Amino acid sequence: MANKPNILYLMTDQQRFDTVGALNNPIIQTPALDRLAREGTSFTSAYCPSPVCVASRCSFLLGQWPHQTGCTTNSAMPQDRSSVMDLLNEIGYQTHGIGKMHFTPQGRKMWGFETRDFSEEGAGPDDFTQSLRDNGYDHIIAPHGERSEYYYIPQPSQLPARLHHTQWVGDRTLEFLTQRDSDRPFLCWSSFIKPHPPFESPVPWNRLYRTVEMPLPFLPPDYEELHTYWNRHQNRYKYRDQGMDMNLLRTMRAAYYAAISFIDYQVGRILEYLESVGELDNTLIIYTSDHGELLGDYDCYGKRSFLDAAARIPLLVRYPERFEANSQCDIPTSLVDVLPTSVCAAGLTPDSDRCGTDLADIAYGNSDRDAIIGQLAHEDRGLYMLLTDAYKYIYSAADQKEFLFRRLAGRLDERNLAGNPAYGRPLREHRDRLINWFRDDGYEQPIEENKWKKFPKPIESENPDAGQLFQDGRSSSDQLPPGYEPHIDPIRGH
């Protein structure tokens, strides 16, 4: 086993691609991520397979596109398939998971992990909330921040930094690394909940950035024309459909950056430990996120979009034996590429039903793959993407509308070229290629003959308060003294 590297996944939740200082963000402070970029390869056209937590993570751990896993939104994952942990566990790896996995519907499924430190926001008692109880913080019922109406309101953490979930993931990772079986290589997946909203960080991290230094949102001309059904639905669902407050929005961004810098600090601790015990260069380190965050761009919030702000993610890889230092690769990549990258580094050949590509082959030009795909939901709400070097094509079934964007360095998606006669040929080519891709895989649900199948458009209530988000955790009535009862006792939702 001496030639098999250790493997470390460092995953965040809802982190945009443009939040790494070394990759042209002059404001955010990320010295540890900058180190990974300096000592490894940055994949600067990396995208999530599905811009939502569960479906994206499912594709990540199975190495398959959403239409192949059948998990295309925050819905049940297939329970009968082997994960990347299964594959590596079979050849002697010690496998351990820490933090948010989102293995829906079986939250405590091991799925190839020999051991796990459990934590999921809103999932009831787990190892993290037990640590809070052990430290006298059992009175905190929203340890990751208040949700529901406060979902996008920046807020200070109710916890000190030493007990915050971000610190807990860092601590548990170091604990595993110090106590692991040194006779076996390890696969450790450390998964942070942040910077997923609520945007909350403990002192002093919540004071690292100020509103005044934050950039304004990206609002190109006619940006409303870039909205799909999902943007409109999500803005309402998360109380962000009633106009813009630029100072609130900049404060949001400051809180979002703070959460990322706190994660970066944990990454730095982990890198320093691996270096101190001589294991850094023998460890394949992959830092990434499950999807991005619109964060006010296009006057939109959340994910559920294939616009770059929501679908493009950081992907930093460090392993000197296979990845060049201080290198950037702009070839389209996806989270489905993590499984083949990992098993190839361990000396295995991926099964034919795994559709990703070894990132080392992509970086060195040894792969002929020139496109990736993505999907959110299906039927009348299906959202589909095909991405090549030059263009991004999106089809929204709910809107029966196509989008085509030129991919320009340093630019977000700005102008829909679908319908512009000058771009008729690339529009047809990308549409046909995506439809044929699905057909070749036996996935005919969204297509009819050689066209997109038309479904009745989903109907949204005209009531501006319809479909609002309630995720308060424990019942609020359980916390109130006699004589005080909530008018509405919200239940937890996704």
Q: Is residue 437 part of a domain?
A: no
- What pLDDT does 406 receive? 98
- What pLDDT does 5 receive? 98
- What pLDDT does 473 receive? 64
- Can you list the residues of the chain whose pLDDT is less than 70? 1-2, 123, 473-478, 487-494
Task: Please state whether the predicted TM-score (pTM) of the whole model is above 0.85.
Answer: yes
Q: How far apart are CA 429 and CA 232, in angstroms?
A: 29
φ, ψ at 299 (rounded to 5°): 60, 40
**By residue range, what is the domain housing residue 247?**
6-368
Tokens 């860092």 correspond to 170
Q: Are 478 and 139 in contact (CB under 8 A)?
A: no
φ, ψ at 401 (rounded to 5°): -140, 140
Q: How many domains does the chain have?
A: 1
Q: Is residue 292 part of a domain?
A: yes
φ, ψ at 392 (rounded to 5°): -120, 125
Q: Tell me: the pLDDT tens digits for 387-437?
A: 999 999 999 999 999 999 999 999 999 999 999 999 999 999 999 999 999
Non-local CB neighbours of 242 within 8 Å, separated by 6+ positions: 464
Q: How far apart are CA 328 and CA 444, in angstroms?
A: 36
Residues β-bridged to residue 95:
187
Residue 127: count other Cβ atoms within 10 Å of its Cβ.
14
Q: Are 379 and 387 in contact (CB under 8 A)?
A: no
Q: How far apart are CA 32 and CA 24, in angstroms?
A: 15
Non-local CB neighbours of 484 within 8 Å, separated by 6+ positions: none
- The CATH number of whichever domain residue 162 belongs to comes to 3.40.720.10
Q: Is residue 448 part of a domain?
A: no
- What pLDDT does 122 receive? 78
Q: Is residue 394 part of a domain?
A: no
Q: Is residue 331 part of a domain?
A: yes
* Identity of residue 56: S
Residues β-bridged to residue 43:
329
Nearest residue to 208 via CA among 192, 221, 217, 195:
195
Nearest residue to 68 via CA among 443, 351, 343, 452:
443
Angstrom CA distances, 330 to 36, 151, 229, stand at: 17, 34, 30
Q: Is residue 162 part of a domain?
A: yes
Q: Is residue 390 part of a domain?
A: no
DSSP strand pairing (186-195 vs 6-13): parallel
Tokens of 243: 């106009």
Q: Are 143 and 159 in contact (CB under 8 A)?
A: yes
Q: Is residue 268 part of a domain?
A: yes
